[in-house]
Structure 1
């Protein structure tokens, strides 16, 4: 472990459960790298993701964005393609983009949006987009005819969250340079969405553990009972 990590670890009491504000203040202090570290959230949920009725997935626009410039690829045609270009999409197209991704292993984008009539085309990319978490999905608002709204929300700081095979959600909350106050506001927006997304089939304790960390820093546990305070 590096010198910075060891120094940062001294700021964290491993046995403590911090309020969101305390956790963010510590996370910012532990971000000692020469670059602007991302503050990341990890939420362990009491669900079994092997069951379709216990999936947790959605999207939320963070009040202060993520601090990252997001490149948006839109699959659309005709007027919707023109609309996507006017709305600020970084790449717009249809079959030719499918070929580019398949043949050139091209992935110079962060989010994929598609109009519903293009999903037959986009479906050809399921095996390559799926594992990367890039497949458009109605639940996250990335399969829609309202491409302008989708692009605007993504550019404004919309993040998608989904539970992985280990029942954990990993989402970026923003940059250390945001400061604790803005990070806490992003945290609350995200946690409200995750709590609302609790599946009816989930039994017992839903929020198992909540923690935040900077890119190169140690985990900081948040008191689950305080996440919406």
Structure 2
């Protein structure tokens, strides 16, 4: 099986020109043709930004609800007061309640993807900053994980709302769907994601903002560079 996979990868890798910029439609076709894994692979985007990642005011971060979700069950922990626990459970949260604060202090985060909280409990979470911060799980108003409308927040993240944040190299990495998605659904997700990134350009960033955009799939045959004119 591994030998066949290697032959397939080599066959299609030679067809991807790393000096060429592809249209979004063509790139999606290539990603699908060069995917050979048997599981429902993630389709990922990498965006190289013309920012100075050393400057705090040029960090690009936020969240976006993609029109077709990401094809993944997002595990949500809701840290809310007791009177809102039922609302959080009915909204789809997998774990609910302030009892989880003590569990987190003991090292528990299980397979949590997102932690949402109401503003009223944030003063109780400050002790968790050193644990949740490095994992990217600390509730933050800028990431829409601190909200008075806890029902809306939970439902959006369960549906497939995603976070994005530029890394120390000024690159944003994110999933934009699954290989099983139709070409049209992937197209819609990618365009919406890029629209949000463009809207998030820091006012202090000068010159070319979007430098390079690539698509790839989990264990696929390489990344495909996109023509940034796709997003004018």
Q: Under TM normalisation by the shorter chain, which class is it?
A: over 0.9
Q: Which of 94, 97, 119 is the aligned partner of 1:90?
A: 94
Asked if the contact 2:52/2:170 (under 8 Å) is kept, the reply is yes
Secondary structure of 1:171's counterpart equals strand
Structure 1 residue 10, shift from structure 2 partner: 2.4
Q: Which of 196, 200, 203 is the aligned partner of 2:199?
A: 196
Instruction: Please state if 1:36 is matched with 2:40.
Output: yes
Secondary structure of 2:38's counterpart equals coil
Asked if the contact 1:14/1:220 (under 8 Å) is kept, the reply is yes
Instruction: Please state if 1:46 is matched with 2:50.
Output: yes
Structure 1 residue 135, shift from structure 2 partner: 1.5
**What is the TM-score of this pair, normalised by structure 1?**
0.94
Cα shift readout 1:114-155 (whole Å, capped 9, x = no counterpart): 111211222222122222221211112110110000011111
Instruction: Please state if 1:207 is matched with 2:207.
Output: no
Q: Name the counterpart of 1:116.
A: 119
Q: Name the counterpart of 1:75.
A: 79
Q: Flag structure 1 segments of 5+ consecutive residues without an equivalent.
A: none
Q: Name the counterpart of 1:172.
A: 175
CA distance in structure 1 between the partners assigned to 2:177 and 2:185 by the alignment: 9
Deviates more, 1:207-216 or 1:121-130: 121-130
**What is the TM-score of this pair, normalised by structure 2?**
0.93
**Count of residues in Structure 1 that have an aligned counterpart in Structure 2:** 227
CA distance in structure 2 between the partners assigned to 1:179 and 1:8 by the alignment: 21
Secondary structure of 1:177's counterpart equals coil
Q: Flag structure 2 segments of 5+ consecutive residues without an equivalent.
A: none
Instruction: Please state if 1:186 is matched with 2:194.
Output: no
Deviates more, 1:176-185 or 1:125-134: 125-134
Matching of residues 81-160 of structure 1 within 5 Å: 81-94=85-98, 96-160=99-163
